[in-house]
Structure 1
Amino acid sequence: MENQKVTQLNPKLGAPKTIVTIIVALIIGFLIFQSVTIIQAGHRGVVLQLGAVQPQVFDEGLHFRIPFIQTVIPMEVRVQKSETSQTSASRDLQTVATTIAVNHHLDGNNVNRLYQEVGMDYAARIVDPAIAEALKAVTAQYTAEELISKRSEVSAKVKEVLKEKLASYYIVLDEINIREFKFSEEFDRAIEAKQVAEQQALKSKLDLERIKIEKEQEITKAQAQAEALRLQKQEVTPELIQLRQIEAQLEAIRRWDGKLPNVTGGAAPFINVDNK
C-alpha cells in the first residue's frame, strides 16, 4: 500500500521541476540576450561599466558585454550637418548676419572621450558655439566690402579656425559653406549708390578715352594729308608740268574726231571755215 501511494505522488512532483527548468532556461536566455549587443552601421559603441567610461570602443557589428555590469551607448560617426545664422561685426563696425552650413563627423576612435568630456549634447555645447566664435574672429579682420569681395578667402580662414576648435573635442570638420552675408539696409543702399557712381565714372572715363582716340585719329589723318600735299609740292617741277601738258595734248588728239571747231580761243584762234 505504501509503494502505491509513493507511485501516485511522483507525477505531482514532476510539475514543479518542469516549471523550474523553464524558468532557468528563460533566465539563461535573458542573460545571453543581455550579454550581446549589435552596433549598427555608421555608429560606434561607448562602453560603460558601472557608469565608468571604458577605454575600448565597439565598432560596427556583434559584440559581447557583461550583463547588468556593462552598458553600451551607440554614437553616430556619419557626416552630420549643422546650419546656423550668426551675427558678428566687421572691421569697420558693420553688423553682419552670416548664414553658414557646417559638415562634420565624430572621430570614431575617440567617441568614448567625447562622451566622457561632453556627453551626447555635443552639437549645442561644442559645435554651435565654435561656429559662432570662428565667424566673429574672422569677420572682425575684414571690412564689410572685403567680406563680399574676398568671400573665398574668408571661408578658408573660418574653416581653418573652426577645424582647430572642433579637433580639441574629437570632432572632425569636413566642409563649410557660407551661404550668405547680410548687412543692414543702410549699408546695402550705400553699396548700391557706390556701384552706381562707379559705373557712371567708368562710363565717363570710357567716353573721354573714345573722344581722345577719335581726336588723335583726326589729327593723324590731317597730318597724313598735309604730308602728302607737302610731298606732292616738292615733286612738282617745270619738267613735270611740261610733261603733264604734253600728256594732255596727246590725250586731246587721241579723242579728236577729225572736225575743226567753229570757234576756239587761245593765242591763235580759228576762223570760221565754210566747207564748200
Structure 2
Amino acid sequence: MKSAQPQQGLPAIVLGIIVALAILIGLNSFVIINPGQAAVLSILGKAQDGALLEGLHFKPPIISAVDIYDVTVQKFEVPAQSSTKDLQQLSASFAINFRLDPVNVVQVRREQGTLQNVVSKIVAPQTQESFKIAAAKRTIEEAITQREELKADFDEALVSRLDKYGIIVLDTSVVDLTFSPEFARAVEEKQIAEQRARRAVYVAKEAEQQAQADINRAKGRAEAQRLLAETLKAQGGELVLQKEAIEAWRQGGSQMPKVLILGDSKSKVPFLFNVGDLTKS
C-alpha cells in the first residue's frame, strides 16, 4: 500500500510541469511594445516584414526573437571636414537630432543591425558628404559670412541622403566652424588693413572739414571787412576814429586810459589826445 503513493503523485508532478511549461510558453508568445519603441520580429533568424509598433503582439514561442528599437529623438555630434570652392580647408562639428522611422525599422534591422551601427555607418559618413556638398559651393569667406545659407544647403543634402535609410532628420546645428591657421592670419591682416584704410579716410575727411572751416572763416572775415569798408565809405572817416578810440579804451583795461576822447554834440568825430601830455605841462 505504501509503494502505490509515489506512483499516484507522479502524474500530478508531470501535470504541474506541463502547466508551468504552458504558462511559460504562453507568456513567451506575446511581446509588449511601449511608446517610443518599434520592433522587428525574426523567425528562425529571418526578419519578418512589417514592424511591430506599440501595443501587444503575438510571436511564435521558442523559434522567434524580437529586436526592439528606440524611435525617440537621438542626438549625436558629428565632426566633418571639407575643402571650399577656393581650396581652403574648413572644419565643422554638427549636432544632429534624428530618429528612426518606425515603419522602416525592418530595413534598419536587415541593413545596419543596431542603432550604434546606424550612427557610425550611416549618419556620420552622410554628414561628411553633405558638408562637402555645401562647402564646395562657397569660398572660405562666403562659408563664414553666409553661415545660414551653408547650413541650409547642408540640411537639404543630409535630409535627402538619410531619408532612404529610414532616418528622419529633425534638426541640425553648427556647433563649431573653424578654418586653417593660414587663412586666420590672412583674415587678421585684412582686418588690420581695413582698419588702417578707414583711419586714413577719417583723417582725410577731418582735414577736408578743417580746410572748409578755415575757408568759411576767411570768407567771414572778408565779408566783415567788406561791410566795414562800405560803412566807412558811406559815413566818412569819422567811424575810423571812433573805432580806434574804442580799441584804445579796451587796451587800457580798468586803469585810466592814456588817450582821452572828447567831442561835441555837433560832430561825431572824437578828439584824441594823450593825458600824459597834460601832466607834463
TM > 0.5 fold call: yes
Corresponding residue for 2:56? 62
| AA aligned opposite 1:181 | L
47-56 or 151-160, larger mean C-alpha shift: 47-56
Distance in 1, matches of 2:236 and 2:49, equals 114
* Deviation by residue 1:1-57 (Cα, 9 ceiling, x = unmatched): xxxxxx655423221111111111111111112112122442211222333433432
Of 117, 124, 127, the match for 1:128: 124
1:12–1:216: structure 2 CA closer, same or farther, 3 Å change rule? same
SS at match of 2:138: coil
1:252–1:20: structure 2 CA closer, same or farther, 3 Å change rule? farther
Corresponding residue for 1:93? 87
Pairs aligned (count): 251
Corresponding residue for 1:11? 5
Corresponding residue for 2:67? 73
Corresponding residue for 2:137? 141
Corresponding residue for 2:14? 20
Distance in 2, matches of 1:214 and 1:47, equals 87
Corresponding residue for 1:259? none
Distance in 2, matches of 1:240 and 1:58, equals 117
* Deviation by residue 1:184-243 (Cα, 9 ceiling, x = unmatched): 322222222222122112212212122212222222232233334334444555358779
Corresponding residue for 2:25? 31
**TM-score, scaled to structure 2:** 0.77
Counterparts of 1:1-276 in structure 2 under 5 Å? 10-120=4-114, 121-236=117-232, 238-239=234-235
SS at match of 1:122: helix
1:231–1:115: structure 2 CA closer, same or farther, 3 Å change rule? farther
SS at match of 1:82: strand
163-172 or 106-115, larger mean C-alpha shift: 106-115
Distance in 2, matches of 1:86 and 1:225, equals 71
Distance in 2, matches of 1:229 and 1:14, equals 145
* Deviation by residue 1:149-199 (Cα, 9 ceiling, x = unmatched): 222221121111111111111111122222223333222222222221221
1:225–1:244: structure 2 CA closer, same or farther, 3 Å change rule? closer
Distance in 2, matches of 1:63 and 1:90, equals 52
Unaligned 5+ runs, structure 2 = 246-260, 265-270
**TM-score, scaled to structure 1:** 0.78
Distance in 2, matches of 1:35 and 1:142, equals 58
Distance in 1, matches of 2:195 and 2:241, equals 64
Unaligned 5+ runs, structure 1 = 1-6, 255-262, 266-270, 272-276
Corresponding residue for 2:248? none
Distance in 1, matches of 2:272 and 2:207, equals 56
Identity of aligned residues (%): 31
| AA aligned opposite 1:20 | V
The question of whether the paired residues in 1 share the 8 Å contact of 2:89 and 2:180 is answered with yes
Distance in 2, matches of 1:243 and 1:210, equals 41
Distance in 2, matches of 1:34 and 1:213, equals 93
